[in-house]
Amino acid sequence: MSDHPAKVAFSHWLLTGTIVHHAHFETMQEQYQVSVHPQLIMLISIDRYFEICIGRPFLWRREIAIQLSQVIQKVVSIPYLTIWVEEGVMALLLELPKPSYEHPEQLYSFTHPLAEQVIKGMADQGVSVSIGIGGFYSNPYLLHLSYQEARKSMIHRFFQGNQLIFHYQEEEKREIAGKSPLTNEERTELQALVRIADEEGVISLLQLMLKKLAVAHYQDVEVFKSEVTDLIMLMTRVALENGGNMIDILSRNAALIQDLYHTIRYDHFVKKVSTYARQLVAQIDMGHLGKVSTWIRKALDYMRANLHQKITLVEVAQYCSMSHYYFSRKFKEELGISFIEYLNQLRIKKAFYYLEQTDWTIQQIAEAIGFDDANYFSRLFKRYQKQTPTEYRRAKLY
């Protein structure tokens, strides 16, 4: 095992390529008392990790790490180092028997059976893992390329099953063809939900959109990730336009996009995108509301989720288990405006995106935000915006 801090640090420098900034490889070996000279990286990923974590104690994470280390110790007879590169993913740095491998078949014939032994050893423990294998590099300063290749090889596992082995190989670049499976209406709805800070609505629609993209781009993970990046930028712009903290949002955005392109599992990917979406919504929510009581939060969540239909004060008060008289008074005390005023403002905010991004009629937009009467909607819109919906749309378009 290489859990010793010195060996972990040594492994980290090799994987990142930053060892070149510290000292000669042999000098670093001597200083950190590491005799291993790795030339190849295997990336061992616990299948469905976050799913099987649910409900388990924190100690389980340490136990599964010990199990994997013990299996490696049992089946790997050549010198090696290990380091956890993210939760549920371990890098195995191997010093192979030969100083060079002229043909890919020779490398495959050694590394593939070894990977199979690791998978079988973990399966015997009741744990499923998949493995990505990078290329061979005798130069330790280039070992980070093997790590990148191991990660890239597992892109092919993104939508696939468990207990798989992937070997890195160069791929020919191919043209991106085809039309996005997402409609303009879906994109508009996502923007509208972010704007009104409907957290559960955003997450529900976002996950449906991710599933549609996954089905459409099952054979091309890079295109899938590119389309999701567009959705992330779409949500980010809405958050910035509606009072989100620019420095915080942009720094999170940059870190997320970089992280997503290295993410090798669909479940991890969805979890990261959903977490970011929640953070964006929270920025808008806190900017508009500050701190409100739990029952107000519950009422607002209900209102946002049901804007497409008629909502009454009595209905929301009952949902919060309160009398409508008390609910009405406390609502205005906390938010500074009446229930109906706040509800109307939510609907108008959502209407903005339908007016800007769709060619729906005013009647269709009115119905989509809970009004049967388009004329009433137009009068209400003019009251808040000092212009009719048609005038607003024309101004935005031209």
Residue 46: pLDDT band (50, 70, 90) is: very high
Contact 126, 63 (CB under 8 A): no
Residue-wise pLDDT for 121-136, tens only, equals 999 999 999 999 999 9
| Residue 84 structure tokens | 């956890």
Model confidence band, residue 171 (pLDDT cutoffs 50, 70, 90)? low
In angstroms, rounded to a whole number, what is the distance separating the alpha carbons of residues 187 and 206? 9
For the whole prediction, is pTM greater than 0.95?
no
Q: What angle do CA 197, 378, 362 make, to 5 degrees?
A: 80
Residues 138-142, mean pLDDT to the nearest whole number: 95
Lowest mean per-residue pLDDT among 82-86, 170-174, 317-321: 170-174
In this prediction, residue 344 carries a pLDDT of: 92
Per-residue pLDDT tens digits for 291-324: 678 888 889 889 988 888 899 999 999 999 999 9
Residue 17 burial (CB count, 10 A): 16
Distances (CA, A) of 316 to 184, 303, 343, 370: 31, 8, 11, 15
Nearest Cα residue to 282 out of 259, 306, 252: 252
Q: How far apart are CA 187 and CA 178, in angstroms?
A: 18
Predicted confidence at residue 72, as pLDDT, reads 97
How far does the chain reach from its first CA to its final CA, in angstroms?
66
- CB 198, CB 257: distance < 8 Å: no
The average pLDDT across 19-37 equals 93
Average pLDDT over residues 13-39: 93
Q: Pick the more confident residue, 113 or 292.
A: 113
Count of residues making up the chain: 398
Looking at the chain, the whole-number percentage of residues with pLDDT higher than 70 is 93
Q: Quick one: which of 368, 361, 364 has its CA closest to 393? A: 361
Quick: pLDDT tens for 233-256.
999 998 888 877 888 899 999 999
Range among 37-51, 215-229, 295-309 rated most confident? 37-51
Q: What is the DSSP string of 169-195?
A: ---------S--SS-HHHHHHHHHHHH
Return d(Cα 274, Cα 235) in angstroms, integer: 11
Q: Alpha carbon 235 to chain centroid distance?
A: 13
Residue 11 has pLDDT above 90, yes or no: yes
Mean pLDDT of 374-382: 93
CB 207 within 8 A of CB 274: yes
Strands (E), 79-126: 80-86, 89-94
Radius of gyration for the alpha carbons in the chain, expressed in angstroms and rounded: 27
Q: Which of 50-59, 288-297, 379-388 has the lowest mean pLDDT?
A: 288-297
Give yes or no for a contact between 83 and 91, defined as CB atoms under 8 angstroms apart. Answer: yes
> What is the structure's pLDDT at 74?
96
326-372 per-position pLDDT tens digit:
999 989 988 889 999 999 988 998 898 889 888 899 999 999 999 98
Amino acid at the residue 248: D
- Could you identify the residue written with the tokens 């696939």? 160
The residue written with tokens 């403002």 in the block is 345
pLDDT of residue 3: 66
Compute CA distances 300 → 59, 141, 338, whole Å: 38, 56, 13
Q: What value does the mean pLDDT of the chain take?
A: 88
- DSSP category for residue 4: S
At residue 289, the pLDDT reads 58
CA atoms of 132 and 263, how far apart (whole Å): 13
Q: Say what the pLDDT of residue 287 is.
A: 53
Q: How far apart are CA 32 and CA 9, in angstroms?
A: 9
Q: Which residue did the predictor score with more confidence, 227 or 222?
A: 227
pLDDT of residue 295: 86
Task: Return d(Cα 337, Cα 291) in angstroms, integer.
Answer: 16
Per-residue model confidence (pLDDT) at position 231:
95
Instruction: Give the model's confidence band at 173: pLDDT under 50 very low, under 70 low, under 90 confident, else very high.
Output: very low
Torsion of CA 299, 305, 307, 309, to 10 degrees: -100
Examine the pLDDT at 1 and tell me if it is beyond 50: no
